Chains A and B, each alone.
Chain A
């Protein structure tokens, strides 16, 4: 039997399980955080250097576009954090069944979004 090679998968037709979304979002959020490292280090520097640079940073953080960027980074951090804790729990065999894998995926997606909203509301 002749098989068609190479086989191209129709990515938009593939239905990922919830844990699959957590997994790919772990990659996406990690990459985003890596690319944002210069911005994050610059912000840390401005926040610590002096009261003037600190207040200037706070002003910049109030601008609408910058709020959007920081909200996105906040979500990336929280998702990466929660999904990472989930992977550590899996390594410790705490979530070994399929049902637990599904429910913990829901928790990761839910808690990271909820915390993003809560911290975002507290900051602004």
Chain B
């Protein structure tokens, strides 16, 4: 019997799954908004702002954006791991990406629930 020693940081399956769940959430939101806008006779500011005026839609939009940011983190992290070889630069880029995404979360809440 071969003793296999599994190495690694053990986040592979979790992130693989998270990438797909967040993708489905984003796809559902996108299709909902697309169909809603297609069903309107004309899309102007009132229709657009009206769509985001109730808390259910705002929460759905925030869920979409949070899914997007987490999805973006996994994707960008994997790209950086593939192409950026020096560990120090890689760490710097990772930290910059995380900080940017955390700021985007705060910004998203401000956008959706009035400034």
The residues of A with any CB-CB pair to B shorter than 8 Å are 27, 30-31, 33-34, 37-38, 41, 44-45, 47-49, 51, 54-55, 81, 84-85, 88, 91
In the complex, besides A30-B72, A54-B45, 14 extra interface pairs with C-beta distance below 8 angstroms are A30-B75, A30-B76, A31-B76, A33-B72, A37-B100, A41-B108, A41-B111, A48-B52, A48-B111, A54-B48, A54-B49, A84-B23, A84-B27, A88-B24
**In the complex the two chains form, what is the Cα distance from A37 to B48 in whole Å?**
20
Interface residues on B, range: 20 to 34
Contact B27 A48 (CB under 8 A): no
Cβ of B104 under 8 Å from chain A: yes
Query: A-B contact count, CB below 8 Å?
Result: 48
Docked pose: A84 CA to B71 CA in angstroms: 12
Which residues of chain B from 89 to 115 have any CB-CB distance to chain A below 8 Å in the complex? 100, 104, 107-108, 110-112, 115
- Interface positions, chain B 43-92, Cβ under 8 Å from A, are 45, 48-49, 52, 72, 75-76, 79
